[in-house]
Amino acid sequence: MSADVHQLAKMLHELDDQLVGCMKCGLCQAVCPVFSETMREGDVARGKIALLENLAHEMISDAQGVQEKLNMCLLCGSCAANCPSGVKVLDIFLKARVIVNTYLGLPAAKKAIFKGLLTRPVVFNSLLDVASKFQGVFTKQASDIIGSSCARINAPIIGQRHFMPLAKKSLRKLEKPRNSRPGKGGYRVAFFPGCLVDKIYPHVGQAVLKALEHHEIGVYMPSGQACCGIPALSSGDKESFDTLVTTNLEIFEKENFDYLLTPCATCTATMHELWPLMSGNRTQTLQERIEAMSKKVMDVTQFMVDVVGIEMPEAGSGTKVTYHDPCHLKKSMGVSAQPRALVRSNARMELIEMAEPDRCCGCGGSFNLEHYNLSKDIGTIKRDHIVASGAAVVATACPACMLQISDMLSQHGDPVAVRHVMEIYAETL
Amino acid sequence: MISPALLKEFQSLLGKDNVMDSEADRHAYSYDAAVLDAVVPELVLKPTNSEQLGRTVALCNENGLPMTVRGAGTNLSGGTIPTKEHGIVILTNGLNKILEINEQDLYAVVEPGVVTAKFAAEVAKRGLFYPPDPGSQAVSTLGGNVAENAGGLRGLKYGVTKDYVMGVNFWNVEGEYVKSGGKTVKCVTGLNIAQLMVGSEGTLGVYDQIILKLVPPPVASKAMLAEYDDINKASETVAAIIANKIVPCTLEFLDNATIRYVEDFTKAGLPCDAAAILLIEVDGGHQALVDDDAAKVVEICKKNGALQVQMAKDAAEKHKLWEARRNALPALARARPTTVLEDATVPRSQVPAMIKAINDIAEKYKLHIGTFGHAGDGNLHPTILTDRRDKAEFARVEQAIDEIFDVALKLDGTLSGEHGIGIAKAKWLEKETSKATILYSRQLKKAVDPKYLLNPGKIIGG
């Protein structure tokens, strides 16, 4: 055992109190989407926890091998939501990724993206604005119902993906920053569209703004918003995560508001749960500021239904819509009735349930980039459930799920449209 | 010990992906759900068809490698922890096909790696019923259930796994195919080897196919919850229900400590001062009959001193009544870092004496123990809440377990109702049986596995 691994083991000891709670019952095998494909114990929460324990107690020396297993995870939280002992699996895995990554270092490509690009929103945004103008050179349209594209030529990053193209104009270009006072709605909110809505689904952001305006909610949407930080954190890059949190904190602290809304399940969960969870290394004041901000974070669907209140028509009929529960909304935040209510608010839509609506779509952010075939196998099960439901539209509340589901449906040539529940609600206004 | 040549041979037999020799992979198969030290295997093998399984066993035998077969690894007695020297783990999750569900002759043929709940669901789709429902059924495998003779909540009325095993075809240690039992209701051909394989914990052969009995499902059921201020009254209720010729499909019990832990966790408004709660469900082939039984059970509960009896009117209410029982283990498991789940079992009339003894033991060793379980069959789950990192406390836990088993045996009970002996309880086996029993078992073992390569050290030590 080298002195280095001893150092790593010492760092992992901070997780000991959480690791020991796992009673190794193995029930996580029943719900883990990755395990259901690979059937390998090292890919399920119990196995990963055992490996971390053994690494912490210096019984295992191959830190890299453990890191590979740690990365073989969608961070969907299905295991934690079903754990009889209530082990906070996601907290453990995110902290462990940071620790193991600090020890082993970040791969060069990720370092370039996170430290050079993501943490500098101005550079990142202008680069993608330019990219959106040239993307047609390499790609062509694949499905006009879904609006997806695939590679025109053999492009290694795209592979066989049917991806959603960058929007011609991002939300930032379409909508000016806002800072309006509340009207009859009484509330004032800050709006954080998130990267994917800004760059790929700006019309979702516009739907949110339309709904807020309709209800006369005051909106603070500042320029210069940075990524919520999850791509960096899930890769174990705590430094970039901290930078992103601070950037956003400073922008949003400039004004007063009741809620900080996002239309992205992953951004909501990150800002509400992970910002405070991962702030242990910050100064006391900063911790308190992060805590105060994260308490204001709310998913836009929850705000619409629980805070504003929406009008419900008699049972809808017409287009059949099925709803996919994003893991970070249902399993992390416990929000599942509100987005369904938004679908039902549209009298021209009829909500029908697919099998296992809360089964992970398999996206998992960078998991999709690193383990595409596995991500696709998991996504295909979701696709099969959607198609079997007979719905013409699949609605969800997370742009990352929308990307993955679009890819799966488009590759199969399924005529099913993919929409955010806020688009469906905004149509009624 | 495992030469590069042998490794290559396994790889060409099973495919490279199905031979795991990396440190991380091997560590992921070093434990099961028992609170015991992990043992890291030298190699993990995953055969994906019957021939590969037979060849794998033969190769391990030829090379003197001790093999431990593993399904989902939910074992609570260490039966799936591999052997210390050159242990090989053979996975069954690549052998997970339901080969046949026969609706005319009411049997099914399965490979050992089929997940219990998935099988039960497939059977239910065809209007049939496979009753054994161990707590781990969402992930446990049928092979594991047979090897452990797994029980569950329905044991009292429907029996346990052994009552559904009609046949077991398996590879012996030399990799030759042994057939036992069959697909007929009656079958007396040869020794009853199939039942010998049940509960053998992987020590006598490696299952290839299992033939399981299916039954028609009940069409109606009714659930009730009764509260008691005295554990004896709950026990008398259980005895009276049986004496009245009613056999509930479940007759579950929570003691005061468990009730308090559950209430702490769920805030569902459970009676924290109650000495015990009974959760009773009756089922049958006819609604009127079930309603009759249910009414009788309510009467018996009241007559025997129940403070309050609730009967569920519909499925939603039934789900709610079950909530306390469903949350028993989660609530206990959250209270302290380590959860030691035991399954000492006594004749049902001895349940009050057993509970009293467990509570005395908890006090004597300054431990927190919550007890819940299957009151109808006397199968209790004293659950010790501790922290295995606290060496002094864990030493007291081990002493407490010794005493719990002593009491269970004194009350004419048994070491294990459904979790198996494995390595966790092997040392107490002689206390319950006799020296000759152990010797007889070892002679049997030696005759079929002379090199002690089939999950050695389990059940009978050695």
d(CA B316, CA A322): 25
CB distance A85–B338 less than 8 Å? no
A370: pLDDT confidence band, cut at 50, 70 and 90? confident
Give the end-to-end CA distance of chain A in Å, rounded to a whole number.
65
The confidence score (pLDDT) of residue A147 equals 77
- What average pLDDT does the segment B308-323 reach? 90
> Number of C-alpha atoms within 13 angstroms, CB side, residue B241?
35
Beta strands A349-352 and B220-228 are: unpaired
CB distance B73–A68 less than 8 Å? no
Residue-wise burial string across A67-98, b where 16 or more C-beta atoms lie within 10 A, e elsewhere: bebbbbbbbbbbbbbbbbbebebbbbbbbbbb
Contact between B10 and B17 under an 8 Å Cβ cutoff? The reply is no
The confidence score (pLDDT) of residue B41 equals 97
Cβ atoms within 10 A of the Cβ of B308, count? 13
Structure tokens at A62: 């191959």
Contact between A236 and A261 under an 8 Å Cβ cutoff? The reply is no
d(CA B339, CA B334): 9
CB distance B337–A69 less than 8 Å? no
Concatenating the DSSP letter of every residue in B317-337 gives HHHHHTHHHHTHHHHHHHHSS
Of A24, A51, A68, the CB nearest to B27: A51
Tell me the pLDDT tens digit for each residue of A234-288: 988 999 999 999 999 999 999 999 999 999 999 999 999 999 999 999 999 999 9
B335 touches chain A (CB under 8 A): no
Beta strands in B307-400 (DSSP E): 308-311, 338-341, 368-374, 379-386
Give the end-to-end CA distance of chain B in Å, rounded to a whole number.
21
DSSP class of residue B303?
H
In degrees and rounded to multiples of 5, residue B276 shows phi and psi of -160, 155
- The type of residue at A141 is Q
DSSP class of residue B104?
T
Give how far the C-alpha of residue B273 lies from the chain's centroid of Cα atoms, to the nearest Å: 31
B77 touches chain A (CB under 8 A): no
DSSP class of residue A27?
G
- What average pLDDT does the segment A376-389 reach? 97
Tell which wins on pLDDT, A323 or B415: A323
d(CA A111, CA A248): 21
Concatenating the DSSP letter of every residue in B50-67 gives HHHHHHHHHHHHHTT--E
In degrees and rounded to multiples of 5, residue A74 shows phi and psi of -85, -5
Phi/psi-derived region of residue A276, left when phi > 0, alpha when psi is between -120 and 50, beta in every other case = alpha
- The type of residue at A55 is L
Phi/psi-derived region of residue A318, left when phi > 0, alpha when psi is between -120 and 50, beta in every other case = left
Of the candidates B206, B209, B210, which has an alpha carbon nearest to the alpha carbon of residue B56?
B206
Tell which wins on pLDDT, B134 or A122: B134
In the three-class reduction of DSSP (H, G, I as helix; E, B as strand; rest coil), residue B89 is classed as strand
Pick the CATH number of A3-104 from 1.20.1250.10, 1.10.1060.10, 1.10.260.40, 2.40.30.10: 1.10.1060.10
A295: pLDDT confidence band, cut at 50, 70 and 90? very high
Q: Specify the CATH number of the domain A312-426.
A: 3.40.50.10700
pLDDT at B130 over 80: yes
DSSP class of residue B277?
E
Closest chain A residue to B30, measured at CA:
A50
Contact between B345 and B378 under an 8 Å Cβ cutoff? The reply is yes
pLDDT at A2 over 60: no
- The rounded radius of gyration (Å) of the Cα atoms in chain A is 21
A156: pLDDT confidence band, cut at 50, 70 and 90? low
Query: Which of chain B's residues have a Cβ under 8 Å away from the Cβ of A29?
Result: 72, 138-139
Residues B304/B308/B309/B310 CA torsion (nearest 10 deg): -170
The confidence score (pLDDT) of residue A164 equals 82
Structure tokens at A255: 């004004």
Tell me the pLDDT tens digit for each residue of B150-179: 999 999 999 999 999 999 999 999 999 999
Query: Which of chain A's residues have a Cβ under 8 Å away from the Cβ of B37?
Result: none
B140: pLDDT confidence band, cut at 50, 70 and 90? very high
CB distance A65–B24 less than 8 Å? yes
> Number of C-alpha atoms within 13 angstroms, CB side, residue B273?
3
**Shortest Cα distance from A65 to chain B (angstroms)?**
6
**Shortest Cα distance from B340 to chain A (angstroms)?**
9
Tell which wins on pLDDT, B46 or A11: B46
The confidence score (pLDDT) of residue B325 equals 87
pLDDT at A38 over 50: yes
Tell me the pLDDT tens digit for each residue of B419-443: 999 999 998 999 999 999 999 999 9
pLDDT at A185 over 50: yes
**Shortest Cα distance from B26 to chain A (angstroms)?**
9
- The type of residue at B53 is L
Q: A179: which strand partners?
A: A220
d(CA B411, CA B439): 25
Domains of chain B: 4-91 (3.30.43.10), 98-213 (3.30.465.10), 220-326 (3.30.70.2190), 336-419 (3.30.70.2740)
The confidence score (pLDDT) of residue A128 equals 75
Closest chain A residue to B117, measured at CA:
A30
Q: A126: which strand partners?
A: none
DSSP class of residue B224?
E
The confidence score (pLDDT) of residue A137 equals 66
**Shortest Cα distance from A21 to chain B (angstroms)?**
5
Contact between B168 and B207 under an 8 Å Cβ cutoff? The reply is yes
Place of tokens 């809505």: A197
Contact between B178 and B171 under an 8 Å Cβ cutoff? The reply is yes
- The type of residue at A60 is I
B389: pLDDT confidence band, cut at 50, 70 and 90? very high
The confidence score (pLDDT) of residue A1 equals 45
Domain ranges in chain A are 3-104, 312-426
d(CA A306, CA A310): 9
A41 touches chain B (CB under 8 A): yes
d(CA A85, CA A76): 18
- The type of residue at A248 is N
In the three-class reduction of DSSP (H, G, I as helix; E, B as strand; rest coil), residue A31 is classed as coil
Share of chain B above pLDDT 70, in %: 100
Contact between B16 and B46 under an 8 Å Cβ cutoff? The reply is no
Share of chain A above pLDDT 70, in %: 97
Contact between A404 and A381 under an 8 Å Cβ cutoff? The reply is no
The confidence score (pLDDT) of residue A3 equals 53
Tell me the pLDDT tens digit for each residue of B202-224: 999 999 999 999 999 999 999 99
The confidence score (pLDDT) of residue B455 equals 97
d(CA B106, CA B129): 9
pLDDT at A408 over 50: yes
Cβ atoms within 10 A of the Cβ of A409, count? 25
- Is A28 buried (19+), middle (13-18) or exposed (0-12) by CB count in 10 A? buried
Query: Which of chain A's residues have a Cβ under 8 Å away from the Cβ of B31?
Result: 24, 50
B18, B21, B23: best to mutate for the A interface, most A CBs within 10 A: B23
Sheet with strand B43-45: strands edge to edge: B19-20, B43-45, B88-91, B67-70
The confidence score (pLDDT) of residue B95 equals 98
Beta strands B43-45 and B88-91 are: parallel
- The rounded mean pLDDT for chain B is 95
Of the candidates B158, B147, B128, which has an alpha carbon nearest to the alpha carbon of residue B207?
B147
pLDDT at B191 over 90: yes
Sign of the C-alpha dihedral computed for residues B182, B183, B189 and B193 taken in this order: positive
Tell which wins on pLDDT, A145 or B398: B398
In the three-class reduction of DSSP (H, G, I as helix; E, B as strand; rest coil), residue A264 is classed as coil
Contact between A151 and A159 under an 8 Å Cβ cutoff? The reply is yes
d(CA B170, CA B111): 10
- Is A127 buried (19+), middle (13-18) or exposed (0-12) by CB count in 10 A? exposed
Instruction: Select, from the ranges A102-116, A124-138, A320-334, A357-371, the one with the highest average predicted confidence (pLDDT).
Output: A320-334
Tell which wins on pLDDT, A160 or A69: A69
**Shortest Cα distance from B3 to chain A (angstroms)?**
21
Contact between B252 and B153 under an 8 Å Cβ cutoff? The reply is yes
The confidence score (pLDDT) of residue B436 equals 96
Contact between B36 and B30 under an 8 Å Cβ cutoff? The reply is no
B3 touches chain A (CB under 8 A): no
The confidence score (pLDDT) of residue A58 equals 87
Measure Cα distances from B251 to A306, B29, B137, B237 in Å: 41, 35, 19, 11
- Which residues are CB-neighbours of A230 under 8 A, at least 6 positions away? A266, A267, A270, A274, A365
**Shortest Cα distance from B1 to chain A (angstroms)?**
20
Q: Please give the interface size between A and B, counted as residue pairs whose CB atoms are below 8 Å apart.
A: 90
Tell me the pLDDT tens digit for each residue of A317-368: 889 999 999 999 999 999 999 999 999 999 999 999 999 999 999 998 888 8
d(CA B61, CA A86): 42
B28 touches chain A (CB under 8 A): yes
What does the H/E/C string look like for A118-151? HCCHHHHHHHHHHHHHHHHHCEEEEECCCCEEEE
In degrees and rounded to multiples of 5, residue A423 shows phi and psi of -65, -40
d(CA B15, CA B33): 29
